[in-house]
Amino acid sequence: MNKIELLAPAKDLFKAKIAIRYGADAVYVGGKKYSLRYRASNFSLDDLRELVSFAHHHQSKVYVTVNIVFHDADFLGLREYLKELDDLGVDAIIIESLAVLALVKKMGLKMECHISTQLSTLNSLAVNLLADWGADRVVLARELTIEEIEDINRQANLPLEVFIHGGMCSNYSGRCTLSNRMTRRDANRGGCAQSCRWKYHIYENDKLISDEACPLSLSSKDLRATSYIAKLIKADVASLKIEGRMKSDYYIAQVVKTYRLLIDEIYANGDIDAKRLAYYDQELSKAENRPSDDGFFGGNPDDSKHLYGINGAGVTHDFVAYVLAYDQEHKSAKIEVRNKFNQGDILEILSPDKTKDNCRFKVMAMFNEEYDALETANQPMQIIFLSCPYVLSEGDMLRKVRDLNAD
């Protein structure tokens, strides 16, 4: 049994490296073409070359999304692009089009083809058909319970990938064109306007039957599958996928690290108890910007898993700075400011090094590059020096604790 893979998203090279540093076994990214996240920065071939080198050096893998729904014109230049990806050493592409699958196999390329969740695969018959056609992995649809995933995996002839965290399409992925109709932005070619997150009134013929003060939203809470990780490991699922190619570096670091530690703890101890799960849920909440729950893992979502009111979660921590360097002699950190904080605030460390996990300190003295004392750090990208009792490393992150009662 191979150790389960933790697969993280990244919208640019910087974030992909963070995901790997914080414990991802593989990252998935979009190239400049054929990616479903049009607004993500996306990777040039040079970026991909650097990422593949970095990832392979860290024993991680790189998957590139080629998962738009293809129109005829999109095939122009595809063959050359696929060859370039293969030559760069990309480990796999994530595809929706079976014509692309056939092309990759016909070209004899080394990289694997993973079937995107855009194909909404919900059963082992479909998985095995895709296996016969040459697919190397299938990303299952999110609309499955844990028992269904276990059953499918028992019958499937291919490794399976399962979403465990992040935003949820409210409709079957790939089979929604609300955005197309309402904004003329093609949901299946990278332009999704997330019309499912908007508010709607319900009518019976011409009579309003919804509550005007609390309209319908198709929007669901985000997915957080911490309590199912042990079962997914036991089921021998191949890969656990985090959603969020549009998310911030701080989010990626927090989420990847939390699942990394959770997975490793389950492997070390054989299981995980409720107290430890609560701890990991608490850790994830530090990066949440929307309420979350277990999606379809426990059954078809009821009303408690939808978002009808305010979409935002109660933010408990604010990412405020990157660590650039640390001077052990003077116990001083050189940091790059990202968000405002003040003298007297309590900061918490987020680091790939788990020995520094959540260590907190109070902001005492801080200085700008001219060594002027500062009371407030409020200029993004400003370099400042800050005393810190803990040894920090380049790339560590600092976050301000909003709620001092929060763990």
Partner 1 sequence: MEIVCTLKPQTNLDKIIGLADGILCGSYFADRHYYALSKLKEIRKISKEKGLKLYILMDTMIKEEDIDLLYEYLEFLNNLRVDGIFFADLAVLRAAEDLHMTNLLHYDPQTLICNSLDAVFFLKNGLAGLVAAREVTYQELEKMLRFNPQKLDVYIFGHQKMASSARYFLRNYFKHIGKEIDLADREDLSIIETTRQEAYPILENHYGSKIYTDYIFCMYEEFLKLRENINCALVDDIFLPESLLIHVLKDLRNLDNHNVQGLLNRLKARYIKNHFSTAYLYAPTTMAKKEGLSDEQN
3-state secondary structure of 112: strand
Rounded Cα distance between 352 and 397, Å, is: 9
Closest to partner 1 by CB, 125 vs 278, is: 125
Least distance between partner 1 and beta carbon 101 (Å): 8
Amino acid at site 159: P
Contact 347, 363 (CB under 8 A): yes
Least distance between partner 1 and beta carbon 76 (Å): 11
DSSP line for 299-352 = SS--GGGB--S-------EEEEEEEEEEETTTTEEEEEE-S-EETT-EEEEE-S
Smallest CA-to-CA distance from 36 within 91, 76, 95 is with 95
Closest to partner 1 by CB, 206 vs 329, is: 206
Least distance between partner 1 and beta carbon 107 (Å): 14
3-state secondary structure of 65: strand
Least distance between partner 1 and beta carbon 114 (Å): 16
Closest to partner 1 by CB, 25 vs 186, is: 186
Closest to partner 1 by CB, 107 vs 202, is: 202
For 220, counting Cβ atoms within 10 Å of its Cβ (0-12 exposed, 13-18 middle, 19+ buried), the class is buried
Rounded Cα distance between 256 and 244, Å, is: 11
Give the strands of the sheet with 360-362, arranged side by side.
360-362, 346-350, 397-401, 317-327, 332-337, 383-387, 366-368
Least distance between partner 1 and beta carbon 79 (Å): 12
Closest to partner 1 by CB, 244 vs 301, is: 301
Closest to partner 1 by CB, 14 vs 308, is: 308
Rounded Cα distance between 145 and 154, Å, is: 14
Smallest CA-to-CA distance from 7 within 158, 121, 113, 165 is with 165
Give, rounded to a whole angstrom, the gap between the first and last alpha carbons of the chain. Answer: 35
Least distance between partner 1 and beta carbon 348 (Å): 34
Closest to partner 1 by CB, 142 vs 247, is: 142
Least distance between partner 1 and beta carbon 370 (Å): 41
